[in-house]
Amino acid sequence: MRKGEITGLRWKDIDFEQKIIYIRQIYDINAKQFKVGAKTSAGVRSIHIPDVLIEQLKKERFVVVGHKLKQGQSFNDYDLVVCTRYGNPLDSATLSKRLKAQSIKLGLPTIRFHDLRHTHVTMLIKQNGNVKVISERLGHTSIQITLDKYSHVPPSMQKHVADELDNLFKVKEM
């Protein structure tokens, strides 16, 4: 997901039963306003999510409800998944700080927010994910955008292809 999609994500855009996130609005961090839709026409989409993310979202919802109860009338209820303790959308710097803090807490290398998108795509490609499905998941209008922008081939995949070719030729030689 893009930064604006995450900062604009509302609880009503998550179907916990079907395990789907619906991208229906973004938060434009620079303009400081919500916008219906997404960055592109393909950006308005549904994303199937794993059980582990569902569980994390349930925990986060509990935290947000706690902030809402504690702040009372001071809480600005935009129904946001990712927000300040007062319910407001996060700015770019705060989102980056939270990512860095969480990375350090988990003992992971610190990366830029957008690098998460690259990592996600690389992981899916390594698992031989269908490029069309990956492209739709990212909200791209065509697979060409996905291939041009995100599909750098890790050395391990190059080696895997070479090993597969070796196996193929060994079978044919026998």
Residues assigned a catalytic role: 2, 32, 114, 117, 140, 150
Residue with tokens 């390594």: 126
Q: How far is CA 118 from the centre of its chain?
A: 10
CB 21 within 8 A of CB 49: yes
CB 87 within 8 A of CB 71: yes
CB 26 within 8 A of CB 38: yes
d(CA 57, CA 92): 21
Residue with tokens 């950006």: 43
E-assigned strand segments in the chain: 14-15, 20-23, 25-28, 33-36, 45-48
